[in-house]
Chain A
Amino acid sequence: MKPNSAIKNLVNYTMFAVTGLCTVIAVGILFFILGYLIFNGGKSLSLSFFTNLPVPVGEIGGGMANAIVGSGKVLGLATVLGIPIGFLGGVYLSEYSNERVAFTIRYITDLLNGVPSIVIGIVVYAIIVHPMGHYSTFAGGVALGIMMIPISVRSTEEFLSAVPQSLREASLALGAHKWKSIVTVVIPAAMRGIISGTMLDIARVAGETAPLLFTALGSQYWSPGWNGPTATLPVMIYRYAISPYEDWQRQAWAAGFVLLALVLLINIVARLALSKGIYVPKG
């Protein structure tokens, strides 16, 4: 009995150490990535990065101002297109649909979420770029917008479902129409969660590169309006990183640093907002 329990304890402590080590390594990778980008990216970052256009190889002082604006435009359009559909779909799932329909829609939403982003790129190429005859900011926005929908649906539904039933009943008992109680009682109660979910959604597609490769394409110049191809940060990082020129590679680091900082910052703010003093009193 005695030696048996000694072995038991030894195995227990060993596995504690081993699994703990796995976790530490995984978290270590994050700090490694952060450290590397802060070091290499910070070193390459300058004011001209934010204010100048890209310059041809050999010239000094190029920046990615057009890519920063381009990314902003594409993301803005994606948000305007994707979030309303996702949000309303989430409201339907949580407030209107019956269990079986909800299951089907949820399932399809998850499948859409799992479609590789490059495939979304192909489809948007087929339905927008090809008929229009040219690459465009608009097509890039649509591609990212489609990618935003599934996450928006699921997070909206999740936060609406967390609103206590008693709130809905109180509102209905006071004689409010169902839609009115949804709009004035249920949604406001879940607002904080929904906004955080939307921020996480934006952060996720902000780094997407593959669906932009043949929708927004890329450009070395400013791209006014929505009809022309535009530079975006992730695509610029890709193109510059695989180029053989040292100055371009240096700028890829800088751009990577800016992109990562942006994505992680949004993530941290949104997740802290979610974890702190939550949106609804649990009924």
Chain B
Amino acid sequence: MSSSVTVPKSALPQRRAQSFISRLKSGEELAYLITVTAAAVIILLTALVLYELIAQSGQARHKFGWSFLFTSTWDPVAGDYGALPFIYGTVVTSVMALLIAIPFGLGAAIFLAEMAPPKISNAMTFLIELLAAVPSVIYGVLGIFVLVPALQKSVVPAIKSVAGSLPIFQGTFYGVSVFSAGIVLSVMIVPFIISVSREVLLAVPRDQREASLALGASQWQTIWRVVMPNASTGITGSIFLALARALGETMAVTMVIGNAPQIKASLLAPGNSIASMIASSFTEATDDLFLSALVELGLVLFGVTFVLNGLARILIMTTQQKGAHK
């Protein structure tokens, strides 16, 4: 598709022959300069984001060094900050969200890409895309007023009666908890896993499927043994993308996680995540060191999502190109 973009190679020598002034007059160079500036602005903006995070977190980075990542006191009065509880909360909620969302998301993606009749598939895909457009603050509202009461009334008692002896289900359940945040997050990332995985599956070359079906394999055998292995790189990419979203998700998490900077083995205890901590304390940060520590939290979040997104894009591109070359 993009190979058709590089247009008139034939126009190039002729363009070079004209003087810069005449090209400027004809508007040619001007149009080029305007668009290339816009493209440069995008790169500069990304660099600016990184620069500001590094610059503004300088004070905290100098004072705490790497120990910022491994200590768990967060005491604005004493000026002592450690990010461990927030990193822990972020990782636990995101992993929980992935564990729930991956089977659902992949199942639905397989159905939409491989099994459903085209009309149904198109309609369902449309609805899934709408689901992906629901703002996160709406998920937060539903989390507070619908999910948390439901968990408190029936789900958690049921879990406790079955698996109450496990350390992850110990303690009193107050509603707001790491567990609730993980569930809200899982619902939020399902649409992303579905739509990206579906596209990846659709990029697997047709002849692979036909060969398998011709050999007598059933549709499911074809999907499971031929299509999925072909698409596995891209599906991993879609999971990375979803993970990056879960890690950076702020509003829905901050509304149901309980905002308690602690590390508890039990999922039912309140916790906090990096993004949620920044959201809830940034405007209350009175001194520079506090602010600097919060920015450093942002830097950690930025670093992790940057790497994840970078990897995800490469994985997805690899699969889609493999399909395109066939």
Indicate whether B289 reaches chain A with its CB closer than 8 angstroms. Answer: no
A window 112-128: CB within 8 A of B: 112-123, 125-127
User: Could you tell me if A26 and B194 are in contact, using CB atoms closer than 8 angstroms?
Assistant: yes
A253 to B138, CA, bound (A): 9
Q: How distant is A22 from chain B, measured CB to nearest CB, in Å?
A: 3
For residue B115, which residue of chain A has the nearest CB?
Answer: A16
A133 to B243, CA, bound (A): 36
Partner of A256, one of B103, B137, B187, B249: B137
Given A19-B111, A241-B141, are A122 and B53 neighbors across the interface (CB < 8 Å)?
Answer: yes
Q: How distant is A278 from chain B, measured CB to nearest CB, in Å?
A: 14
Q: For A241, list chain B residues within 8 Å (CB).
A: 137, 140-141, 144-145, 255
User: Could you tell me if A165 and B53 are in contact, using CB atoms closer than 8 angstroms?
Assistant: no
User: Could you tell me if B127 and A146 are in contact, using CB atoms closer than 8 angstroms?
Assistant: no
User: Could you tell me if A26 and B39 are in contact, using CB atoms closer than 8 angstroms?
Assistant: no
Indicate whether A209 reaches chain B with its CB closer than 8 angstroms. Answer: yes
User: Could you tell me if B108 and A26 are in contact, using CB atoms closer than 8 angstroms?
Assistant: yes
A72 to B314, CA, bound (A): 37
Indicate whether B2 reaches chain A with its CB closer than 8 angstroms. Answer: yes
A149 to B44, CA, bound (A): 12
Indicate whether B218 reaches chain A with its CB closer than 8 angstroms. Answer: yes
User: Could you tell me if B45 and A149 are in contact, using CB atoms closer than 8 angstroms?
Assistant: yes
Given A22-B111, A178-B7, are A267 and B218 neighbors across the interface (CB < 8 Å)?
Answer: no
User: Could you tell me if A117 and B1 are in contact, using CB atoms closer than 8 angstroms?
Assistant: no
User: Could you tell me if A267 and B146 are in contact, using CB atoms closer than 8 angstroms?
Assistant: no
A window 75-115: CB within 8 A of B: 84-89, 91-99, 102, 105, 107-115
Classify the secondary structure of A's interface with B.
helix
Q: How many A-B contacts if CB must be within 8 Å?
A: 292
A12 to B142, CA, bound (A): 36
Contact stretch, chosen from B74-82, B155-163, B262-270, B305-313: B305-313
A172 to B7, CA, bound (A): 10
Partner of A263, one of B135, B191, B282: B135
Contact stretch, chosen from A51-59, A62-70, A188-196, A200-208: A200-208
Given A112-B42, A116-B302, are A237 and B141 neighbors across the interface (CB < 8 Å)?
Answer: yes
Q: Mark B2-46, 1 if CB is under 8 A from A, else 0.
A: 111111100100000000000000111011101111110111011
Indicate whether A132 reaches chain B with its CB closer than 8 angstroms. Answer: no
A178 to B8, CA, bound (A): 9
Q: Mark B125-139, 1 if CB is under 8 A from A, else 0.
A: 011111101111110
Q: For B200, list chain A residues within 8 Å (CB).
A: none
A265 to B124, CA, bound (A): 17
Q: How distant is A231 from chain B, measured CB to nearest CB, in Å?
A: 14
Indicate whether A170 reaches chain B with its CB closer than 8 angstroms. Answer: no
Given A97-B39, A234-B135, are A252 and B27 neighbors across the interface (CB < 8 Å)?
Answer: no
Given A11-B220, A238-B137, A238-B140, are A115 and B128 neighbors across the interface (CB < 8 Å)?
Answer: no
For residue B309, which residue of chain A has the nearest CB?
Answer: A114
A88 to B221, CA, bound (A): 47
Q: How distant is B200 from chain A, measured CB to nearest CB, in Å?
A: 16
User: Could you tell me if A260 and B138 are in contact, using CB atoms closer than 8 angstroms?
Assistant: yes
Given A26-B104, A149-B42, A172-B8, are A209 and B301 neighbors across the interface (CB < 8 Å)?
Answer: no
Indicate whether B210 reaches chain A with its CB closer than 8 angstroms. Answer: no
Partner of A209, one of B42, B48, B136, B298: B136
Q: For A89, list chain B residues within 8 Å (CB).
A: 35, 38-39, 41-42
Q: How distant is A104 from chain B, measured CB to nearest CB, in Å?
A: 8
User: Could you tell me if B283 and A214 are in contact, using CB atoms closer than 8 angstroms?
Assistant: yes
User: Could you tell me if A118 and B39 are in contact, using CB atoms closer than 8 angstroms?
Assistant: no
A123 to B43, CA, bound (A): 15
Given A19-B108, A89-B35, are A119 and B255 neighbors across the interface (CB < 8 Å)?
Answer: no
A84 to B37, CA, bound (A): 11
Q: For A110, list chain B residues within 8 Å (CB).
A: 309, 313
User: Could you tell me if A20 and B133 are in contact, using CB atoms closer than 8 angstroms?
Assistant: no
Q: Mark A169-199, 1 if CB is under 8 A from B, else 0.
A: 1001000011110110000000000000000
Indicate whether B319 reaches chain A with its CB closer than 8 angstroms. Answer: no
Indicate whether A36 reaches chain B with its CB closer than 8 angstroms. Answer: yes
Indicate whether B208 reaches chain A with its CB closer than 8 angstroms. Answer: no
Indicate whether B180 reaches chain A with its CB closer than 8 angstroms. Answer: no
User: Could you tell me if B309 and A207 are in contact, using CB atoms closer than 8 angstroms?
Assistant: no
Q: How distant is B113 from chain A, measured CB to nearest CB, in Å?
A: 10
User: Could you tell me if B2 and A102 are in contact, using CB atoms closer than 8 angstroms?
Assistant: yes
Q: How distant is A122 from chain B, measured CB to nearest CB, in Å?
A: 5
Partner of B107, one of A23, A108, A182, A260: A23
User: Could you tell me if B218 and A11 are in contact, using CB atoms closer than 8 angstroms?
Assistant: yes
Indicate whether B324 reaches chain A with its CB closer than 8 angstroms. Answer: no
Q: How distant is A252 from chain B, measured CB to nearest CB, in Å?
A: 6
Indicate whether A227 reaches chain B with its CB closer than 8 angstroms. Answer: no
Indicate whether B168 reaches chain A with its CB closer than 8 angstroms. Answer: no
User: Could you tell me if A249 and B187 are in contact, using CB atoms closer than 8 angstroms?
Assistant: no
Indicate whether B232 reaches chain A with its CB closer than 8 angstroms. Answer: no
Indicate whether B211 reaches chain A with its CB closer than 8 angstroms. Answer: no
5 contacts between A and B (CB under 8 A): A9-B218, A21-B107, A118-B298, A178-B28, A213-B283
Please report B residues at the A interface, Cβ cutoff 8 Å: 1-8, 11, 26-28, 30-32, 34-39, 41-43, 45-46, 48-49, 52-53, 55-56, 103-105, 107-108, 110-112, 115-116, 124, 126-131, 133-138, 140-142, 144-146, 187, 190-191, 194, 218-221, 223, 241, 244, 247-251, 255, 275, 278-279, 282-283, 294-295, 298, 301-302, 305-306, 308-310, 313
Q: Identify 5 new A-B residue pairs, CB closer than 8 A, beyond the known A96-B32, A264-B130.
A: A111-B310, A118-B248, A126-B295, A207-B135, A209-B250
